[in-house]
Amino acid sequence: MNNFKKIGLSALAGSLVAVSAQAADVSLSGGASVAFTSAFDSDKTGYYMNDSVTMTISGETDNGLTVTTSLELDGAGAASTGSFDNRSIKIGNDEMGTITFAGHGGDSVIGGWDDVMPTAYEEVFALTKKRADGTTDGNTVIAGYGGDNLWRYDSPSISGASFHMAYQSTGTTAASGGTPARVSSYSDMGIQIAPEMVEGLSIGYAVGEYDETATKSIDVSTLWVKYAVGSFTVGVQESERDGSAATDHDSSDSWGVSYAVNDDFSVSYGQHTYEEGTSTTEQESSGFSASYTSGGVSISAAFNSTDNIQNSATDDEDSYEIAFSFAF
């Protein structure tokens, strides 16, 4: 998003950040979108809009630390007037890396890497399903955990390698869709490598751990490889969720390829397969996406299909979404 207002205010920074800052940059950025979509074969076309404004304040302390706090006003809140969203504070510099505390909307390492396959718009499993009680669920993915009150550390890149770790304190998290409940803290760590001798190649690996119940420990992991050459980017990814019982051994595989037709127009295609425990039915997703951007205006489209949603052999759905987005 493009900043539409930036002001240097040392006094404001001093009142909002409890450090000795010489100056601060205050910026506001925003965006809005309107889309029409159909998430199920039998549904009529629906419409929705998103809008948000993000305020970011960044300054440097006397000892060389950069402190950045960010707050988003998101119109997608329950109240018609909107709600605050994605609150965080970051502290760090080029030598030590960055420590982030996300009061709301934080990404763990695996949560941010649940699917990093190249795509022009949507993930291929981005589809909702109807439940008997009228609520909705997402497709099953291996994503670790994230959300409120999450700590994260991101190291600087050293010869193309960077280290990442995240921690979310103890607390019961209710089950949601394919994500199980947990009764303990969650932690993960990962490494990303972009070898200097192989331009366009990037590799990532992360592992995490939590207790689903007082007697059941779960390990999660993901490994991905992407390679960009010319206008093409290709990628493959494997993820696992392992516990003591046979029903807790889940795995997923995905691949994707994108092509930049020019600087403004991109297309992509990908597939994602999820195998759950002892189930003999795999959740299989595929999708095509395209996007065109010019002067802060984007037109994006995704056409996805998923068979055996949440490994249910009788639940197959097609979906599409076309969105018009504006950044300012």
CB neighbours of residue 42 within 10 Å: 7
Tally of residues, the chain: 328
Instruction: Give the per-residue pLDDT at 90.
Output: 97
Would the pLDDT of 101 be above 90?
Answer: yes
The pLDDT of 276-301, averaged and rounded, is 92
Answer whether 0.85 is exceeded by the pTM: no
Secondary structure (3-state) at 293:
strand
Instruction: Give the per-residue pLDDT at 223.
Output: 98
Q: b/e for 272-305, b at 16 or more Cβ within 10 A? A: bbbbbeebeebbbbbbbbbbbeeeeebebbbbbb
Distance CA 69, CA 4 (A): 18
The pLDDT of 226-243, averaged and rounded, is 96
| Mean pLDDT estimate for the chain | 83
What pLDDT, in 10s, does the model give residues 155-180?
999 999 999 999 998 665 555 545 56
Structure-token pair, residue 182: 């947990």
Distance CA 259, CA 313 (A): 33
Task: Please work out, in degrees rounded to the nearest 5, the angle formed at the alpha carbon of residue 194 by the alpha carbons of 189 and 198.
Answer: 155
The pLDDT of 249-255, averaged and rounded, is 93
Question: Looking at per-residue confidence, does 258 or 320 come out higher?
Answer: 258
- Lowest mean pLDDT across 19-33, 74-88, 137-151, 200-214: 74-88
Distance CA 98, CA 66 (A): 9
Task: Name the pLDDT band for 102 (thresholds 50, 70, 90).
Answer: very high
Task: Name the pLDDT band for 91 (thresholds 50, 70, 90).
Answer: very high
